[in-house]
Amino acid sequence: MKKVFQLTVAIALLAIVPLSVNAQCKGFAKKMCKVELYPYTHDGNYHAAILTVGEEAELYKTFYSDQDYRISVCGAPGLPEIEFRIIDTDRNVLYSNKDNEYSWIWDFRLEASQQLKISVKVPTADGLPEEIDGGCVAIMFGVNEKN
């Protein structure tokens, strides 16, 4: 009976830990990345995940014509500079922060509405410890409503 109880507690803890990590990551996004959107209005969504060195994540989002947008991508302290690219449906790279000193933000306006892919990557870097636990990487979107 004692082993069944211990197993139940262990499973319950394993189920709670990811929720706690996701909540911390959302808190990081609110605290660190959302401020980079100003003076744009945050769209209300928090896109954040725990990534380690060498990992990549993608997000698809529809953007509308004649709107001014800002994308903010940031990573937790201890991670190397986060790379992000904006790619259209024809696989053209519209923006790469790697070519812009790893800027956290990009402001843009599209002539036609379209779905874009936002690709974020935590690159490998010299001098990093071999085992990094990972850290939160967040993508935030803002719209300038003063058009």
Tokens of 10: 């262990």
pLDDT attached to residue 25:
85
Contacts of 94 (CB under 8 A, 6+ apart): 86, 87, 88, 108, 116
Q: Please measure the distance between the N-terminal and C-terminal CA atoms of the chain and give it in whole angstroms.
A: 66
User: For the whole model, what pTM was predicted?
Assistant: 0.76
pLDDT in tens, 41-89: 999 998 998 998 889 999 999 999 999 999 999 898 888 889 999 999 9
pLDDT attached to residue 132:
63
Does the pLDDT at position 10 exceed 50?
Answer: no
User: To which residue do tokens 């903010």 refer?
Assistant: 72
CATH of the domain at 47: 2.60.120.380
Q: Which domain holds residue 47?
A: 2-144
Q: Total structural domains in the chain? A: 1
